Amino acid sequence: MLSAAVTALLFAALFGVAAPAVATRVAPRAGAWLLTVGGAVAGACALCVLALLALPVAGRSPEIAETGHWSVRVFAQHDRLSLGLAWTALAILAFLVGRGGLVLVRIAVALRRSFRLSRELGRMAGALVVLPDAEPDAYAVPGRPGRVVVTRGLLRAVSPQSRQLVLAHEQAHLDGGHHWHLAVTALAAAVNPTLSRIRGVQELCVERWADEIAAGFVGRSVAAAALPGVVALIRSPARRPAAAVAVTGSATGLRAAALAAAPLRVRPSLLLVAAICAGCALVATVVCIGDMTRVIDLALDAARGTHR
Amino acid sequence: MSKQPDRRAAGALEAEILGALWAAGRPVTPADVRSELAADLAYTTVTTILVRLVDKGVVTRRRQGRTYVYEPSFDQADLAAARMHDVLGTGQDRAAVLSRFVGQLSAADKLALSAALLRRNRRRDG
């Protein structure tokens, strides 16, 4: 039980290290899917394993055993875990579930709002909503249908190519359901701290995914040349905190450089390396579940035997 | 993944033409709109979409000489903007909902990532 649990947590952590490295070296769409699916698996495995490790807290408690009709003695005999470890696991589990719950609520509120907005806009606006603001800005609001929102300030300031780039980029966010990818990875990172890096990497992956699709319309070299200007326009220096300048510059430069170079390939073998980490975590978790199920069965059988 | 401009969804074309109307900043003819577009669209495609936008009430048109000139419906834009403001709020509220064009990468990851990806790009260039 314990060795399988440790194995599961280790492989989940290994995914947290390997996945960012892989996701930045493959086509962004493949990278995003790797982080989403693998992150969901590694996040769920960690929670599941912690819950199993914490189970003796309930399993060895005579009061709880009374209501569930199982033998505390047989449970303690077979779980081969220490009660101290179980309490520690329970404390960590409670903390992580709380953290995940907060993130989940935040995401749910944001998505509910944006879907409500989409409903209320109804036919009042098309797929594109233009705000009369002078401040240049552009974003995608998920919903049914999702809306691309740009300000008048942006539309009047950029070239037709840049305009097409921005609109196609935001539309790609909506078409690809990128908000779901971001939501799943944010949640996975919240419930498993060893996955903390995948969240930021996912943000980059979906931006680059949208960049690639937009570049399909305007051309890679045009997109690479136009992107930094548009980003600079939206992030006007006046509004930007001084410390963030250089960092922002590097992320934008990164997106532009990725567009200027040949598109990254999918590279299934590289994806497989990271996917295997998540897969091993899953297998080890299933082993843990099997072990614990056996302990519970034994304890239940023992109680039934004494009552007979 | 990349589609050709002429095979794109009607929604994307509508968005682009509406964007061009806003960029123009004055009532314009379909020919003006067409020259404002990055993609090369047929004149009839542009007029068809303009008429559809007028039907939806997003765009208004009026006769000027022998042709129509088109302009975004500012009333409707104001209404939409007010709705946006009501539902999404401002500042932080809004930032939580949206995936923005500039993205919202956390500082540490951006630095780590740039190192990895830019190395690759340099290798490829060199």
Q: What is the pLDDT, as a whole number, of residue B95?
A: 54
Is the pLDDT reported for residue A276 higher than 90?
Answer: yes
Residues in chain A with CB shorter than 8 Å from the CB of B15 are: 126-128, 148, 167, 171
Pairing outcome for strands A138-141 and A147-151: antiparallel
Residue bearing the bigger pLDDT, A221 or B103:
A221
d(CA A46, CA A198): 15
Say how many domains are in chain B: 1
Mean pLDDT of chain B: 75
Q: What is the pLDDT, as a whole number, of residue B120?
A: 57
If you measure CA to CA, which chain A residue comes closest to B91?
A239
A124: its two tokens? 């009042």
In contact, B22 and A167? CB cutoff 8 Å: no
- Binned at pLDDT 50, 70 and 90, residue A207 comes out as confident
A298 in contact with chain B, both atoms CB, cutoff 8 A? no
B32 in contact with chain A, both atoms CB, cutoff 8 A? no
Neighbours of A45 (CB within 10 A): 26
Contact B84 A131 (CB under 8 A): yes
Q: What is the pLDDT, as a whole number, of residue B105?
A: 54
Average pLDDT over residues A8-15: 97
Contact A164 B39 (CB under 8 A): yes
Amino acid letter for position A119: R
A134 by Cβ neighbours in 10 Å (0-12 / 13-18 / 19+) ranks as: exposed
Average pLDDT over residues A129-145: 85
Residue bearing the bigger pLDDT, A55 or B3:
A55
Q: What is the pLDDT, as a whole number, of residue A88?
A: 96
B86: its two tokens? 């009501």
Q: What is the pLDDT, as a whole number, of residue A96?
A: 97
- Binned at pLDDT 50, 70 and 90, residue A111 comes out as confident
**What pTM, to 2 d.p., does this model score?**
0.86
A3 by Cβ neighbours in 10 Å (0-12 / 13-18 / 19+) ranks as: exposed
What are the angstrom distances between the C-alpha of A189 and each of A38, A47, A117, A273, B98? 11, 12, 28, 20, 19
A133: its two tokens? 């603001």
Is the pLDDT reported for residue A7 higher than 90?
Answer: yes
- Binned at pLDDT 50, 70 and 90, residue A53 comes out as very high
Give the one of B2, B98, B125 whose C-beta lies nearest to A213's C-beta: B2
In contact, A148 and A129? CB cutoff 8 Å: yes
Closest CA to A183 of A110, A116, A95, A251: A110
If you measure CA to CA, which chain A residue comes closest to B94?
A110
**Highest averaged pLDDT of the listed ranges A72-86, A163-177, A281-295:** A281-295
C-beta pairs of A10-14 under 8 Å, 24+ apart in sequence: A11/A42, A11/A45, A11/A277, A11/A278, A11/A280, A11/A281, A11/A284, A12/A42, A12/A43, A12/A45, A12/A46, A12/A192, A12/A194, A12/A195, A12/A277, A12/A278, A12/A281, A13/A194, A14/A277, A14/A281
What single DSSP character describes residue B90?
A: S
**Highest averaged pLDDT of the listed ranges A196-200, A224-228, A248-252, A290-294:** A290-294
CATH number reported for the structural domain that contains residue B123 in this entry: 1.10.10.10
Q: What angle do CA A216, A218, A220 make, to 5 degrees?
A: 65
Average pLDDT over residues A44-59: 95
B94: its two tokens? 């809004």
- What are A141's strand-pairing partners? A147
Backbone angles phi, psi at B66, to 5 degrees: -95, 0
Is the pLDDT reported for residue A110 higher than 70?
Answer: yes
Is the pLDDT reported for residue A273 higher than 80?
Answer: yes
- Binned at pLDDT 50, 70 and 90, residue A80 comes out as confident
Give the one of B57, B109, B118 whose C-beta lies nearest to A197's C-beta: B109
Residues in chain A with CB shorter than 8 Å from the CB of B72 are: 130
Q: Which range (A161-175, A229-243, B103-117) has the least confidence?
A: B103-117
Give the one of A20, A117, A258 whose C-beta lies nearest to B84's C-beta: A117
- Binned at pLDDT 50, 70 and 90, residue A42 comes out as very high
Contact A234 B15 (CB under 8 A): no
Average pLDDT over residues A75-93: 93
Average pLDDT over residues A281-302: 94
If you measure CA to CA, which chain A residue comes closest to B102?
A231
The answer for B 76-105 residues in CB contact with A (under 8 A) is 76-81, 83-84, 87-88, 96-105
Whole-number percent of chain A with pLDDT over 90: 49
What are the angstrom distances between the C-alpha of B107 and each of A200, A236, A249, A254? 9, 18, 11, 14
Q: Which parts of chain B register pLDDT below 70?
A: 1-9, 89-126
Amino acid letter for position B12: A
- Binned at pLDDT 50, 70 and 90, residue A220 comes out as very high
Residue bearing the bigger pLDDT, A161 or A239:
A161
Cis (ω within 30 of 0) for the bond into A160?
A: no
